[in-house]
Structure 1
Amino acid sequence: MEMSTSLDFDVRAVYLNDDTKYAILNTIWSSTHTARDFSNDPSIGDSYLRYYGDQCRNALHSRGFNSIIKTHADVADIVNRLKHPIMTRERLQEYLRTKVQHPSTIDDDEPLCYIIDLAVRLWLIDVGKIQHGFVPGQKPLLWKAGSLKDLVEDRFAGLVSGPSRVVTVKLDRLFTARNLERIAGLQIIWTDNISDHLRLMVDDTRIAIYHHASFLEHHENNCIFPAGFIEETLRTISLLFPQYDKESRKWFKAQQLKFSLDKKTSTSGHLTTEERQIENFVFWYDRLSILKKAFDEAEPSTLAQWWFDRRRRVQWYTFWLAAIVLTLTVLFGMVQCVEGGFQVYKAYYPS
């Protein structure tokens, strides 16, 4: 009873009280957060709740939205129906038609489809086209018919290529998100779309990284995803944001404050040398291989990149030794020029 009361608030409201926050998380994540949890850690689910609010506010501009969804309880109702194992898009669409208070305001199925896509985005994965917003790097995944489980399995099973993976690649300790930016010069795009995770974009100058580690942790036992997918995705986060790497944690904290990222991303664990073998990754094997190749082939183009790039120690020492020699040569040359000029001056003006 408390849960439904907590969710019975206008979905258009910008501010959410703690009761509504944990009610939303408990409904959508199937978690068991309490008011005490929020008093101990007010940041629980912050990045997801920001995403939730952005998606709902974006949907408010859609035709017919207000005739079906008015409160967070309405959103939760649709999400809970999505969780039913035999639910299909067609059945959910029929159910939403029964909820339309003024049928004359909706003369086609487009508003119903948009509301269904919104519920799927809030619960599971980005689907559909966002009509009044833009997500950098997003490639729309369309759910047109059938069960959501089939769609998700087809989408992520498609990441797995054939059995011709024979190249052994070691994902060494330098292969972190921080070094992708400062050594390889890749611009990191923080994405809310798990389908775009580890995708290189814009002529291989940007890399999309999914940062909602809390979401992943709460969906580890969600059977709608292919077996092992969530666990492996969490391992890619541990790979790129090693928990025991002090510099990576410091770098991510600055990113987290700037972009309102999920702070759990930097505390998702740390992979051992054996766990960093690329053969241990099934779903993300291809994208990791492409990303590692881009990282290895990236050549420093700025002094900062030359300084941070320790992938080839001999080359690094050679470059900086040459730089020091060149600097000293120029410096001594300038000193000699000044000294020569002073001597000429004294020759003309001895006193």
Structure 2
Amino acid sequence: MSQQVLDCRLQGAHISDELAKVLAGRIWRSDYTRHEGPASELDSYVFALEAKLQVFSESLHVIRHFRHLVDLIDLIQQNRNQPREEIGQYARILCNRWFTDPLELNVPVPPAAYNSIDFAVDVWLLRRYNIAGLSRTPGEHIFAWEGARTPMTDAFRLILPGHQDITSPPPDQVFSSTLTLRDLHTLGDFVIQPTDNLFQHLLVQKHRNRKMRPTVYVFFNVYAISKLQTWNEPLNSVHFDDPKFLEETIRTLALLLPSYEKDTHSWFTKYSKKMQRNLPRNSLPAIDRRAGRLPFASRRKVDYHYWLPRLLDLEKEFANSSPRTLRQFLRDRRRYRELTLYWVAVIALVLTLISSLTGVVSAIVGGLALRGGKDGKGSLDAACCCRDVDSITNILTVASVITAPAPGMTFEPAQMIDPSQTMIVTVRITTTITVAGA
């Protein structure tokens, strides 16, 4: 039965339970059984593999069936320390076993053979080299396997060299407690993008179609990494892969998703459900939930090597970000004092502009009212709130005819107030608020 399921074609394939079990046994040296209800351990890996197969094109590869894929992975595992060119020669010999129309031995290895080698490495090690055609996710970097004489391990170290400057070790500092995926998303307005390519892990990019919001790629597949650790243990003597790299990768997830923080755990649960809703119905889990249940990881920078440069870049990008909404501002406590002073200054400026605008409007209304009174087209009291001008005039008129008082007291004749000669004086009060910064 296992031999029959391996005869399925790769292009556009959906992986059945039986096929998944056989692949796990051949690639991971592990048993795999999908459980009913809760997501199985390797479901996220199978989901990622199915996504690769949906864009797999036979015209770009020499492999056609799952049997070819697992045979090629076995070949690469046995020759893992050989240069790329040598593996290509071995792959050509393998192709001549598969097909009746053999590849010529006295010509260069065709590009389709190298494309299949890169695809097999991606399926086995979760690291994508030299992406062919539509297999590349939009916006994803191309990580090249440089040099025909370069072994796979050396090509890997060229992409993720880690902290190289031995004379200048990283300062013995700690990453801020706000450097979590939750705070990156809620405070820095980061887009958290899952990836199935380890080379893309913790890479920060900005895309136009996302309004230049920072996008950080995260490799969530914890169980796949643990399987690589188990498979790699007997190979440490040949230094195929530094075991510290895989262990450090898991620690970066624990650093960004601290399980002891209830808010972060709640956010990750909602995030996983949201990602799942965006997928077709009955799809396998796209996010490995184990990523949110990892043990405590050190926040000291000196405890990281391979991922330290990207963690520092992520920290810098987060520090340079600022809240875009009022809700984000109220939650942000990174630069609370500076941001508070900034918003107070903005509010003071707005109030000053409103006050100035009110004064201008009052002056215009008063000028129009004065012109209307002079032209005889309307009295002053009809244009403003001074409705008692006539009564004031009458009172002053009566006062002018009052009989003179006793000797020694004199009154000057009262002057008639002509409403048409009355001027309106507008007093504008401008309030200036000065905010003193540190």
Q: Structure 2 length as normaliser, TM-score?
A: 0.64
Aligned to 1:84: 78
Equivalences for residues 56-75 of structure 1 within 5 A = 56-63=53-60, 65=62, 68-70=63-65, 72-75=66-69
Equivalences for residues 119-130 of structure 1 within 5 A = 119-124=120-125, 125-130=127-132
Whole-angstrom distance in 1 between the partners of 2:10 and 2:153: 27
Pair 1:196–1:299, CA change in 2 (3 A) = same
Query: Could you say what secondary structure the match of 1:207 adopts?
Result: strand
Aligned to 2:99: 101
Aligned to 1:264: 289
**Greater C-alpha radius of gyration:** 2
Whole-angstrom distance in 2 between the partners of 1:97 and 1:10: 16
Whole-angstrom distance in 2 between the partners of 1:155 and 1:226: 14
**Identity in percent:** 19
Q: Which runs of 5+ in 1 are unaligned?
A: 327-347
Question: What letter corresponds to residue 247 of structure 1 in structure 2?
Answer: S
Deviations along 1:282-334, whole A, 9 cap, x unmatched? Answer: 111111112112212322232122022122455677789999999xxxxxxxx
Whole-angstrom distance in 1 between the partners of 2:193 and 2:37: 31
Q: Note the C-alpha offset of 1:13.
A: 5.7
Does residue 205 (structure 1) correspond to residue 202 (structure 2)? The answer is: no
Aligned to 1:139: 142
Pair 1:315–1:169, CA change in 2 (3 A) = same
Question: What letter corresponds to residue 93 of structure 1 in structure 2?
Answer: A
Query: Could you say what secondary structure the match of 1:230 adopts?
Result: helix
Greater RCO (CA < 8 Å, at least 6 residues apart): 1
Question: What letter corresponds to residue 109 of structure 1 in structure 2?
Answer: P
Whole-angstrom distance in 2 between the partners of 1:117 and 1:174: 38
Aligned to 2:10: 11
Whole-angstrom distance in 2 between the partners of 1:133 and 1:173: 37
Aligned to 1:115: 116
Whole-angstrom distance in 2 between the partners of 1:97 and 1:287: 39
Whole-angstrom distance in 2 between the partners of 1:23 and 1:138: 32
Query: Could you say what secondary structure the match of 2:246 adopts?
Result: helix
Aligned to 2:251: 235
Query: Could you say what secondary structure the match of 1:132 adopts?
Result: helix
Pair 1:255–1:169, CA change in 2 (3 A) = farther
Q: How many residues align?
A: 326
Deviations along 1:6-30, whole A, 9 cap, x unmatched? Answer: 4343334633321111222232222
Pair 1:41–1:48, CA change in 2 (3 A) = same
Pair 1:56–1:145, CA change in 2 (3 A) = farther
Residues 129, 142 of structure 2: 8 Å contact kept: no
Query: Could you say what secondary structure the match of 1:201 adopts?
Result: strand
Aligned to 2:419: none
Does residue 51 (structure 1) correspond to residue 54 (structure 2)? The answer is: no
Residues 12, 57 of structure 1: 8 Å contact kept: yes
